[in-house]
Structure formats: structure tokens, C-alpha cells
Structure 1
Amino acid sequence: MNLLLRCLGIAALLGSSLACPGTCACSLKKNGRLLAECAYRDLQEVPEGLSPNVTILTLSANRISSLWKDSFSEVPEVQSLWLGYNQISSIEPGTFAQLVHLKNLDLSHNKIVDFPWKDLRNLSDLQILKMNYNRLAGLPRDAFYSLKDLRSLWLNDNDLTTLAEGTFDNLPSLSQLQIFNNPFNCSCKVFWLKKWTENTSVSITKGGSILCVAPSRLKGRAVTDIPDHYCTAPSVQLTYLSNLDNTVMYDGLTLTLHCSVAGTPPPEVRWKIQTSSRSIEINRPNVARDGNILPPRRNKQSQEHFLVFKNGTMAIPNFSKEDEGIYTCLAVNDVGMREVSVNVALAGSENPADDLLRNAPQASHLGGRSCYKGDELDPSGAGEKLVIVYHMPRESKSKAGVVPQVWLGTLLLTLGIALCC
């Protein structure tokens, strides 16, 4: 009697583990994995009634158009999910997020434009991801960030025009990548891809070349053949004029810095200012060619104190102790970014030259034009201090009355910063 009950229990257990929708064929493989074969069944949605023990689910070659958050809630143990050759165009966020055991995911030959990329963050066991022959027009830079075991990635035959630098970083196991037959715009935004393909051990050549569709002068040319001179990283040089000796000014001290940049395409100039009381970023000129202040976009009112011109010059009228701090010029283009910083301090003395040389014996001579190249010197090094020395003599009379004369000293880089002609 006990033996009969055991047999009935085992049969019931096996029966529940082999639960299978009528539209599918289920079988237990030799390795103990449960296969649910539901391909070529003209299905319009994921069938219900699947066993929770299913580890391989084949739904290829059906007419499924949408996937919902609960579409695979019955198969939490699934490891291989084949959904190729359907009509999938809509995927609800969270659809794949709970399938933490997934190793193989095939979504090829569908109509996917938008994909819930955040779902991939939970799929750390994923080894194969096929998304080729879809309508993907873009990828987030961190789309595959958590896929440490990913070995094969198929993105060919989509609508990708560009890829963000670093898209394939943090994929230590990647050995095969297919990205051919995409309409790449070979601006300098994809120049990194050329460099990456030259240095990577990942196989990316099978199936076809990665060709440019635009611009016209590169159309039909392989991304790997983009000329090196077509895109060059920025270089940056920070200069200032130090010919203000013996100049009488009545409107206060104006600090002027100039950021010279070079690169292809021409870099944008941006500024960062860090004082003891505030941190400011200025990403565009705020002074028009006619000298008028441009209306602010998102600029805070405090930024209007820092006048930024299109030619890379910054002027700070009425420079005071509150404006002391680190001034950083950034040159940014599609290839990269360079920056250079100076620490600006304000000092006063009855004898500015004597005071300067006593406190900074390595300082440069007064006068002349000095510069600091961001691509030659480490801006994080010690001693990069731009000192402004000014002299406040006795008050003297003028026709307009008693006016304080401000005798300016010089702007100079101290403590071993190089001079340029």
C-alpha cells in the first residue's frame, strides 16, 4: 500500500512538472532540463499553463506582437528563451527583469524600436543576446554594463547611426560582436569605434564590414578606414596678459584669461569655476559680439559676473577676494576632452615686486605673456597658482576730486610653471 502511494505521489509530481499548454510540446531532456517547444504554432501571445520548471522555452516563428510584464511569470527558472521571427514591437518594462537565470535570449527578426534596457541589469548570467534584424535606432551607453558573462552580442541589421563611446566596456567575456549593416553616420562621434576595433580581441568581422552611410565623403567606406586626421582630440592652452604694469584704473581690477583650443571638429570651450563659496559651470558664451550680455538660458544670475566671449576669453570685472579659486578651461569635441586649471589668488603689497620675489623665488619675471598648456603639464600638480599682485598707494587729488589710484602689478604663474612665447 505504501509503495502504491509513493508511486502515485511521484506520478503526480512528474505530472505537475510536465504541465504543458495544448499548443506546445514539452519534454524532459537527458540533462534534466524541461523543454517547452512552442515554435511554429501561429501564436499571438505567450501561452498560459507552462510548468514553473521549464528551463528552455521556444516561441520562435509565431505572430507575437507584444510582451507584457507577466508574460513569463510562469517560468521563473527559464535559462534559454527563443523569440526570434515574431512581430514583436512592444515590450513592457520589467518583462525580462525577473528572469535572473536567463543565459540565452533571442529577439532577432522582430520589429523592436524601443527596448527596456534596464531589464538587462538583473541578467548577470546572460551569455548570448541576439537583437539583430530589428529597428533599434540607438543604445544607452550603459545598456550592457552588468552583463559580465556575455559572450556573443548580435546587433547587426538595425537602424543604428551611432554608438556612444564605452558601449562595449565592462564586457570582459565578450568574444563575438555583430554590428554590420547599420546606417552609421561616421562623424567623429564614432571615431572611438575605429580605435576600439583596432585594439580589441573581440571578433567583429563575420557577416560583413561596418560601413559608413554618412557623411557623403565617407559613404561606403568602412568605419575602420576613417582617416586619423579626420578626427583629432582637443588640445588646450590657458593664457593671460601680464602687461598691466603702471596702469591706472579707476573701475577696479579685471582678471582676463584666454583659452586657446585646437582639434577636429573644432572644440567647444567651457569653463568651471570653484571658489570657497560657489561652484559654477559656464557651457556657452554669455557676451555677444557687440558686447551686450546675452539673455541667460539656465544660467544662474551669479554667472553674469563672469563674462565669457565666443573667442575663448573670460573676463571677471571687479575681481575680489571672493573670486579667488580654481578656474578650469575645458575643450570638448566628439573625440574627447582636455582641460587645464589655474588657482587664482589675490594679494596686496606696498612693494609688489619685492613681495612677490620674497615669497615666490621661482616666479617668472614681471611683464610679458605667459601660458599654461593642458596637454603638457599636469593640472593637478602642486604650485599652479596665478597670483595677482596689486598696489594701493596714497590717495591723490585729481580734477574730479580725491580718487584712489590702483597701480596694478602683474599676472604671473608661480612655482615653476613654464612660460611660452
Structure 2
Amino acid sequence: MDLLFCLAVAFLVAEAPACPEVCVCVARKTYSRHIADCSYKDLRAVPAGLPSNATTLTLSVNRITSLREDSFVDVANLQGLWLTYNEISTIGKGTFGFLAQLKNLDLSHNHITDFPWWDLQNLTALELLKLSNNRLEKVPLEAFSMLKDLRSLWLNDNRLTVLSEGTFDSMPLLSLLQINNNPFNCSCKVWWLKRWLESSSVSTPQKDSITCATPKNLKGLTLGRNLDLDCSLPSVQLSYHSSLDNSVLHDGLSLLLDCSAVGKPQPEIRWKIQASGQTVVINGPNAEEEGDNLLAGARFEESPGRFLVFKNGSMAISKFSKTDEGIYTCQAVNDVGSREVSVNVALSSSENPADDLLQNNIQASKPRAKSCDKDEFPKSEEKIVVIYLTPTVSKTTTIRGILWEPWPWGSMFTVFLLALYT
């Protein structure tokens, strides 16, 4: 009998998951929880031999300085990982990436400056993330894009000076956000955050501690309703010029689109061209000279690129043809936000080009639907402009009015522009 008993005990011990000597491993069968408690053990690293069935691992209040990619390879079923009050400064990429069932991750009160943000892309079950009291200086815009179930996010007491607009938009269940005690730079880059804090239903405790560290004239002021930031959304206007030699008939038309924008801070101008089934995005100037100096067709041959964008925001298209027909969008962007205006450019040889183009473009008579903040976004304005171009006379027309004269000619080109303010 004693022999059988000993064999049974040996069998059970062999089947039981291992537990490091310094840890206490407990099974809570009622809740299907297996806890490995390794806290308060003066550990310098994550111990080896952790039980593979552990659902909760506590390593808080130790002296762990780094986490490696294989630190938690034996505990892939973790739902809770607690590492608060350690000395962690280095975390290898992929350390948390395979913990797909993780719901709670606490790394607060450490020395973390560089967090492996892209590990979070795989932690889709995460509900609590605590990174407070560390040394984080930035958070990537897409860091939380996959955390659809996250309820509580702690980023307080770090070194964050700015957060990108949209950082919290991908977390529909977020109910608690801690961002207090960070040295925010209250430039126009945090204008969106100020508005978000005023309007969001997400709880943000200690709002009085969400303050400006810079600039000097705003230091110590709360990032709230009473903070006056001299910022404004861009206002953008589009005008255009035709360019043809006064004596020589070119093979195609040359078109110059001038985009001007004002705002605080001064907006940058970007272009998007949707033509011939393709989209071209130009995020800055790609030609040295100003557009007004390139109205002569010969100059185009000296500059690279089919679409030339200049430092003043204008864009030129040389020898405009059917393949260039499409939507040309000028976008003005600053730290507050962006606005854009688009023109739909087409060529026609019809005697009534406006009628033909309107019949083929139902949207020409309808404003674009867009939900906007009424205080910041005025009602969209829609203009339809028809310009007659002649190979012997240069004309200029703006989107707020039209100056043209009908000229008799054998082969007539028409440029149809639909201007949308959004």
C-alpha cells in the first residue's frame, strides 16, 4: 500500500506545472485562475521555470532592470501581468507580442523611456494598460489602434510634451484616461487635446494637474476651457490661370492652379491628384521657381515631373490633355487641423460644355455631406465655373468669380471646375 501511495504522489508531482522556488503558485479552480506570485523577492530578472498554465503573474516590487523577448515565453496564457515598482529601463521588441490573452498589463513606476509600442498590435484583449510614472517622451499615433476593448489607460507622470490628434479615437470602450503631470508644450499642437478634454465623456481625473510646462507665458496653466491658445484652422482658397503663348498654338493647354491658405500657425500646402485611375500625392514643393514664372510652355521642359508644385503653393500642369482630367485637391494643414478645396477639371468640345458635364456629374449640384464642428467649420460652399480658353489670349479666373469673353475658334477646349470647400 505504501508503495502504491508513493507512486501516486510521484505521478501527481511529475504532472504538476513547475514553480520557481522563489515564487508562490496557487490554483483557484473556482475561477480557473493559476497565480504565480513572485513579488517582494528582490529579483534582478524574470525567474526561469514559470508554470505554463499561469494566468496571473505578479513580479511587482523587485529590482528587475530589463525584459527580454523570451522573458514570458513559458507563460503564453497570461491574462494579468504585474510589473509595477521595478527598475525596468529596457524592453526588447516582441516581449509582449505573443501574449494574445492578456487583459491587464501594469508597468507603472519603472524607468521606461522606449516602449515596444507595436507589441500592442497583438494584445487585442487588453482592458487595462498602466504606463504611469515612467520616462516616456512620446506615444506613436497608431499605438493603441488595435485596443478595441481597452477601458483604462494610464500615461500620467511621464515626460510627454505632446499627443497626436486621434491617439484615443480607436478605443470605443475607453472610460478612464490618466494624463496628468506631464510637461505639455501648449503650442497649437495640443489645441485638439484641449477641445477633446472639454467635450469627451472619458473620465480624466486630476484635470487640474494637466498643465502647460511651455511656453513660459503659459507655464503652470491648466489645459482646459480657460486656456487661451492663439490658434486657428486653415482657410484655403483656390484660383487658376490659363497659360498660352500669344502667337504660337501649343499642342495642349498649360494650367496653373494657385492655392493660398491662412491660419495660425501658417499652414503647409499639399496636393492630391486623382486622374487616369491613379492618385498622386505631393506633400511639398518639387520645383524651385514660382508658378507665375512658368506660364510659358518652354519652361516646363526644363523642370522634372508632370505636376510641378512651387514654394508659394501653386501647381502647374503643362500641355493639359484628356489623361490629366480628374480631381485636383489642395489641402492646407497646420497643427490645429486641415481643410481642403477640390476642383474637377475636364476637357470638352461640346457647344454646351456646362450642360454636358453637369449631366455626367450628378454630384455637381449637391454639397458634400460631412459632419463638422459648427463653431470651427463653416457651411460648405459649392461653385460651378466654366472657362473658355483660347490659344491666342491669356485669361485668369478665380473660384469666387469669373472673368472671360467668348471667342470664336474652330477647335474649342473647355475646362470645367467644380470647387468644393470642406
Name the TM-score class by shorter chain. Answer: 0.7 to 0.9
Describe the SS at the equivalent of 1:193. helix
User: Any residues of structure 2 matched to 1:15-414 within 5 Å, and which?
Assistant: 16-17=15-16, 19-29=18-28, 31-206=31-206, 208-225=208-225, 227=227, 230-240=230-240, 248-250=246-248, 252=250, 253-276=253-276, 279-285=279-285, 286-288=287-289, 304-347=305-348, 377=380, 387-390=387-390
Q: What corresponds to 1:396 in structure 2?
A: none
CA distance in 2, matches of 1:14, 1:378: 77
What is the aligned-residue identity percentage?
52
Q: How far off is 1:93 after superposition?
A: 1.5
Structure 1: runs of 5 or more not aligned: 294-300, 363-373, 394-404
> What secondary structure does 2:217 align onto?
helix
Deviation at 1:361, TM superposition (A): 9.8
Native 8 Å contact 1:326 1:341 kept in 2:
yes
Separation in 2 of the partners of 1:358 and 1:118? 53
- How many Å separate the matches in 2 of 1:125 and 1:290? 53
Q: Cα deviation per residue 1:281-326 (whole Å; 9 max; x = unaligned)?
A: 3322323469889xxxxxxx98545443433333334444444332
For the structure 1 residues 32 and 224, does the alpha-carbon distance in structure 2 shift closer, same or farther, using more than 3 Å as the test? same
Mapped contact 2:353–2:414 kept (Cα < 8 A): no
Q: Secondary structure at the match of 2:189?
A: helix
Aligned-pair distance for 1:226? 6.8
Give yes or no for contact 2:44–2:62 (8 Å, CA) kept in 1. yes
Task: Call closer, same or farther: CA 1:202–1:46 in 2, change over 3 Å.
Answer: same
CA distance in 2, matches of 1:361, 1:22: 80
Partner letter of residue 130 of structure 2? K
Structure 1 residue identity aligned to 2:42: D
Displacement of 1:249: 4.2
Structure 2: runs of 5 or more not aligned: 295-301, 360-376, 394-407
Per the TM alignment, residue 73 of structure 1 is displaced from its structure 2 partner at its CA by: 1.9
Mapped contact 1:175–1:202 kept (Cα < 8 A): yes
CA drift at 1:211 = 0.9
Distance in 2 separating the partners of 1:279 and 1:173: 35
Give the C-alpha shift of residue 331 in structure 1. Answer: 0.8
- TM-score normalized by the length of structure 2: 0.76
The equivalent residue for 2:12 is 13
3-state DSSP of counterpart to 1:201: coil
Seen in structure 2, the aligned counterparts of structure 1 residues 307 and 50 have a Cα distance that, compared at 3 Å, is closer
On the 8 A contact 1:344/1:387 being kept in 2, the answer is: no
One-letter amino acid of the counterpart of residue 330, structure 2: C
State the number of aligned residues: 378
Instruction: Report if aligned partners of 1:347, 1:389 keep a CA contact under 8 Å in 2.
Output: no
Q: Distance in 2 between matches of 1:176 and 1:7?
A: 54
Q: CA offsets per residue over residues 22-45 of structure 1, 9 Å max, x none?
A: 222233346452322211211111
Question: For 1:360 and 1:312, how far apart are their aligned partners in 2?
Answer: 28
Structure 1 or 2, whichever has the larger Rg, is 1
- Specify whether residues 408 and 241 from structure 1 end up closer, same or farther in structure 2 by C-alpha distance, changes over 3 A only: farther
One-letter amino acid matched to 1:338: R
CA RMSD of aligned residues (A): 3.9
CA shift at 1:413, angstroms?
5.1
State the Cα distance separating 1:201 from its structure 2 match.
Answer: 1.6
